[in-house]
Structure 1
Amino acid sequence: MKVLVFGPSGAGKTYVAKALQRSGINAFDDADIEGLSNWYDQDGCKVAEPAIANEVIKNRYAFLWSKRAMARFIH
């Protein structure tokens, strides 16, 4: 079994994943899974991580997860 810990930046994902690992649980921080998630503009092009929330709203960015990367992680 694998446990994926996800949430907003600064929420403590890394701390929780490491604590679970110390307990023998196969846990991962979502940021450690290459290509799992990215920010995209309205045309579907990847963009750099926005610095502030207003940038997301103004540019109508979307935060999306890759089904392909998730499938690789699961298997």
Structure 2
Amino acid sequence: MGTAIVDAVRPVEAAFPAPVLLTVEEAAYCLRVGRTTCFALIRTGELESLMVGGLRRVPADAPAAYLARRRAEQQAA
């Protein structure tokens, strides 16, 4: 009976593609920083974001790009 429940849930999860845009909170979670720090990174232009209607969204690849830039900066120093 337990496997029937698991099998019934998996197709629903698989039906949804990976998100293209993240909320600021989701981006903060990816970076393991707080929401305020994430907004500060956005404000300074270090983390890419855009407005969708009245909502601030972060492209899903932006946290990885931010980390790559930071790592390159630290290796260069």
Larger radius of gyration between Structure 1 and Structure 2: 2
Question: In proportion to residue count, which structure has more strand?
Answer: 1
Give the TM-score band, short-chain normalised. under 0.3
**Normalization by structure 1: what TM-score?**
0.26
**Normalization by structure 2: what TM-score?**
0.25
